[in-house]
Chain A
Amino acid sequence: MMPPALVPQSRVLTSPWRAMAIAALAISTVLPFVILLLQSFGESWRWPDVLPSGLTGSAWRAVAGGSLGRAAVNSAALGVATAVAAVCVALPVGRSLAQLQGAWRHVAAALVFLPVAAPPIALGAGLQIVTLWLGIASTSVGVWFSHTVPAIGYVSLLFLGVFTSRGTEAEEAARTLGASTWHTWTMVVIPSLRAPITEALAIAFLISWTQVALTLVVGGGALRTLPLEVLTLVRAGQDRPAAVGALLLIVPAIAALAALRLGARRTDALPT
């Protein structure tokens, strides 16, 4: 009897099953965007038509100067402000956490993670009370504050990992060479953390950019952001502008993804 032919393991893994799995993933990822794109340009698109009856750019033209455009500008400004504030706070927080030892480090890390782990609606309820106390409820500043809290949590954890892996040797070297705390941070720590800081800015921006619950609960409609505008359009059945808004929401996500990839490629810039 002939022995069964040996099939290399790699051939099994690159079988048609693998191709099908990749195709399924691609379709599920790309298809919604293709549909949104068609929807945003389609004149009318009714069941059971496979494609829209005609194409128009009217919804896109309406963005500039319209509510979607204003909301996109609001979201972008809010995202930038959130990202800058979160990174400014999270950098020293992450470094301090990395210097803690034993149980204190776990406790502090858990506290930082709390706003990240808590459901946004629960966090929003808590932050609403805080913003009321501070007198910034239902204001743009209140919304920015509410976005910054979870962003700080995420980004602090990121910097905790960064500082834990790097240690404080570079700072110590700079200090014994005569650098003050200011020089150490501006000439050594921050420049050598360019990649992680880019990543942190991107993540914090996205946290703010995609935020709905906190904007609604704390802002109470005072600040119209892009996600809120898209939500309103979807609920009103205005499919074409809603599709345009949804696509606008995706653009920064793709840009942030590119920034993260770029940052990942630069992470070999560790102290040598």
Chain B
Amino acid sequence: MTRAANALSVEGLAVPFATPASLSSTAGPQGLHLISLEVARGERVVLLGPSGEGKTSLLRAIAGLTPVSAGRIQVGDLDVTHMSAESRGTVYLHQTPVLFPHLSVEANVAFPLTIRRVPAAERTRTVHTLLERLHLGELAKRAPHTLSGGQKHRVALARALAAKPNVLLLDEPLSALDPVLRRDVRDAIREAHAESDAGLLLVTHDLDDATSLGDRLAIMLDRTIAQVATAEVLFASPVSVAVMRFVGLHQEFAGVVRDAQSVDTPLGAVPMPRGATASRDALSDPHVSSLSSGQRVVLGIRSDAIRCQSSAPRSSADRRELTNTLTLPSARVLSISHRSGGTTAAVQLSDVVMHALVDPMSLPPIDSLVTVHIDVRGLIVFPE
């Protein structure tokens, strides 16, 4: 018999939020609805969304800790929708690692093996391997309360892997951690999952964590899954204005469709974003084909597609780069911001303010005039 390719398949799931009374038929507007999601074996999918969208509820429902009112959850080949938490083959890790205080580190890691009556020799071998993999070998005899935050996360991960789950569910493991500990736990998750074929579903609020850990990102909006895609596709082709706004990589402008080739915006006429990239065609074409002249639209421009410079390009190489570039009339520099993602200038074009990447080695003076270049491959348009 062949194994299912997916570690987890969720189909049309509804999870009520509030009271058991709302379990009656469908979840309704108060709960998660129409959740469909697949996680392949060995894949890491990161669940992203604003607070209160039900990301934790979804994880708990998959783990069997929260009842569902409709839909189907399949782990591997098995329909687990109505099975108890201990029989599902899913391990749920709380935001703060929950270690059993009366057990040593190695006894904690051995716990899933102990309850399955795994022979002592095999148990010891597995625990030792996992402790070494997660750099916990020297802490084996320690009590949980003597461990640092990062070490506790590592122990919880080792214990979860000892259970040999089909699906690993991590509920915001990186929130409320300082940057150093965050990196440590992020590495631990990668190391822990590297040699496992379990599907991993992880919740985070942080886009950097998500792109760093996830093979694919699932965006939750309005209590359902709005889009599941790789970071590259998600950033280039958000499926809706809501997803685009949540991801926050685009700057937004109102516009009106002039014709099939262009959109009128406060920045002037910009080309209709069509056929810029192969991956985007498939998603954006339906929007574009449904647009008509005079229709109001929302134009998104990827922030990293907007650059400004003090003088015009001089070399032939620069001119080649400008093949896909829309150059806007002179803009006035209002301010300069230095961020980890790059240095940006707030610039004003007539009555529109936009933010453009700027070369930190040759910053334009405040109030000076600069030229703004927009890479048209970073444009996307949605009906208003």
* Interface 9-mer from A121-129, A147-155, A175-183: A175-183
Interface-side segment among B91-99, B203-211, B246-254? B91-99
Tell me, in angstroms, the Cα distance from A121 to B82 when the chains sit together.
50
Q: Give the Cβ gap from B23 to chain A, nearest Cβ, in Å.
A: 15
Instruction: Tell me the smallest distance from the CB of B116 to a CB of chain A, in Å.
Output: 6
> When the two chains form their complex, are residues A271 and B86 in contact, meaning their CB atoms are under 8 A apart?
no
CB pair A173 B115 closer than 8 Å: no
79-111 of chain B: CB within 8 A of chain A: 84-86, 88, 90-94, 96-102, 111
Instruction: Report if B15 contacts A (CB, 8 A).
Output: no
Contacts of B99 in A (CB 8 A): 271-272
Q: Give A residues with C-beta under 8 Å from B.
A: 169-170, 172-180, 183, 187-188, 191-192, 194, 268-272
How far in angstroms is the closest Cβ of chain B from A188?
6
Q: Is the CB of B86 within 8 A of A175?
A: yes
B-side interface size class: 20 to 34
Distance in Å from the Cβ of A212 to the closest Cβ of chain B? Answer: 39
Tell me, yes or no, whether B283 is within 8 Å of chain A by CB.
no
Q: Is residue B63 within 8 Å, beta carbon to beta carbon, of the partner chain?
A: yes
Tell whether B298 is near chain A: CB-to-CB under 8 Å: no
Contact across chains for B102 and A172 when beta carbons are under 8 A apart: no
Partner of A172, one of B85, B101, B116: B85
Structural contact, B102 and A191, CB atoms closer than 8 A: yes
Question: Contacts of A172 on B, CB cut-off 8 Å?
Answer: 63, 65, 85, 92, 94, 98
Q: Is the CB of B92 within 8 A of A173?
A: yes
- Chain B residues whose CB sits within 8 angstroms of the CB of A272 once the complex forms: 97-99, 101, 144-145, 147, 152
Max count, chain B CB within 10 A of own CB: residue among A177, A194, A270: A177
Q: Among A177, A183, A194, point to the contact of B102 (Cβ < 8 A).
A: A194
Contact B144 A178 (CB under 8 A): no
Bound complex: CA of A192 vs CA of B108, how far in Å?
13
Specify which chain B residues have a CB less than 8 angstroms from the CB of A191 in the assembled complex.
100, 102
Interface residues of B in 41-58 (CB under 8 A from A): none
A178 contacts which of B101, B102, B115, B145 (Cβ < 8 Å)?
B115
- Min CB distance A193 to B, Å, is 9
Residues of B within 8 A of A269 (CB): 101-102, 145
B101 touches A270 (CB 8 A): yes
Nearest chain A CB to B143 CB, angstrom units: 9
CA distance A272 to B103 in the complex (A): 11
A173 engages B101 (CB within 8 Å) = no
User: Which residues of A sit under 8 angstroms from B86, Cβ to Cβ?
Assistant: 175-180
Contact of B111 among A177, A180, A270, A271 (CB under 8 A): A177
